[in-house]
Every structure is written in C-alpha cells, then in structure tokens.
Amino acid sequence: MSGKSNRVLALGIPKLDEGFQGFQGGDFVVLAGRHLCTLLLFLLSVRCQLPFRKGGLNSRAVFIDGGNTFDPYAVSVIAQDSGLKPRSTLEKILISRAFTAYQLAELIFEKLENFLKMYRSKLVVVSDIIGLFLDRDVPEIEGRNIFLEMIHHLLEVASRRRAVVVASYLTRPYSSRSFFLESILFGRAGAVMRFKESTRDLRFTLEEHQNIKSFSIDVLSNAVTMDMFMED
C-alpha cells in the first residue's frame, strides 16, 4: 500500500494518539460532547495544514459553522502551539456560517462542492450539525428528511473526494426530535468519538469505528483544558 493511501489526520493529542492513529480520506466522523468537542474542530482545522510527516494533510480546511462557534482567537493559539503563523493559518480556513437549518443545507448541497474545488481541501468541518434542526420553526418531518439527505450527501462527498468530513454533535436535553436526528447521524458515521467532561475528569470514548475496536481513555484533572493534551 502506498504512503499516499496511508495518510491520516492525527489529533496530535498524545494520550489519544497512542490508541487511535487518526482520520483517513473518506471518513465521516462525529465528535460528540460539549466545549472540548468544539475545540477539537479548531485543532483539526489547524492540524490539517501541517505536512504529512507531522500528521497533517498539507491542506486547507472548509469550516461550515452551524452553531456560530468559530473562534479566531482559539484557532490562533492552536496555530502558534503547532508552529504555524496565526494569520496565514486563519486565511487557510474557509468559513461559511449558517443561521437556519435551510441555510446549512444549502451550504452543503449547493456550495460545498465549489468550496472544495476552490480550496482543494481534504478536510470539511461542520459544527453543531444538529442544532439548527431543533428549531421549532422547522417542521419536524421536513427537517428529518432534509437532515437525512444532508448526511447522505456528506458521506458521498467524503467518499468521492477522499476527504475527511468531521461533524460536531453538541449534547442537549433529550427530545424526540433530537433522538431521531442523533440516530441518523450516529448510525451513518464511520467513526463516533464522544467526550464526556466534568470539573474533575474527562473521558474520551471511541464508540464506533469501521476498523478499530471501541476504547475509552480517562484523564483526571481539576480543570480540563486543551493545553493538557497538546504535544510539546
């Protein structure tokens, strides 16, 4: 197998990298959790710009912001920690924000392909992919159908373009609407990584993966921060 086919996007978090090599082109990945989940989207958007030998994809990133979560300051800090210049790093992340479920679907159905061609990106990030579909102004059945079609489209894009597609799922109180959307999302993802945070500890769980057995890693801390997990 060639080196090119083995290229992966590593998380760059030592405790996780010991058991999980990273994401490959064609993967559709769901990161589930809260604050740290969003930070990891920023981390991947930076790390994908690193050369292959450093666990990157030597690629720009497309960041579709469904939860108004993008934080240029946090990305700049991660860029500096990764040995990159913050300004040029931010310039290599194409950010498109959606404020309704219909806008999010339009970005994915009608704009994503052009973004990928223009940017030649091997990483697509979709933040808070379910949140906008929980809006009561979106009819429930219509929202389910659009969401299902949207997930199929992302899977097709990942496979056809050999890109890594990463979506974040921000946990919320249970509802029948969120349960159905979560079932669609988790049921079709090639990998599901969950992050359970508290003030005292953090658990990383690889719940699903098509090639790797599930595992969990616990980290004890009084205050969990990204700095704990960054490589020196």
| DSSP string over 143-171 | HHHHHHHHHHHHHHHHHHHT-EEEEEEE-
Q: Please, which residues bridge with residue 191 across strands? A: 29, 209
Strands 215-220, 123-127: pairing is unpaired
Terminal-to-terminal C-alpha distance of the chain? 31
Q: Over the stretch 159-183, which tens digit does the pLDDT of each residue have?
A: 999 999 999 999 888 888 999 999 9
pLDDT interval class at 128 (50, 70, 90):
very high
200 touches 224 (CB < 8 A):
no
Residue 100 has pLDDT above 50, yes or no: yes
- Give the per-residue pLDDT at 200: 65
Q: Which domains are seen in the chain, by residue range?
A: 25-228 (3.40.50.300)
Q: Is 8 exposed, middle or buried (0-12, 13-18, 19+ CB in 10 A)?
A: middle
pLDDT interval class at 227 (50, 70, 90):
low
Q: What is the mean pLDDT of the chain?
A: 87
Please tell me which residue, 197 or 114, carries the higher pLDDT value: 114
Give the pTM. Answer: 0.88
Q: Please, which residues bridge with residue 31 across strands? A: 168, 193
- Give the per-residue pLDDT at 2: 42
pLDDT interval class at 228 (50, 70, 90):
very low
Encoded amino acid at 210, one letter: Q
| Residues 139, 142, 143, 147, Cα dihedral to 10° | 180
Q: Is 102 exposed, middle or buried (0-12, 13-18, 19+ CB in 10 A)?
A: middle
C-alpha neighbours within 13 Å on the C-beta side of residue 102: 4
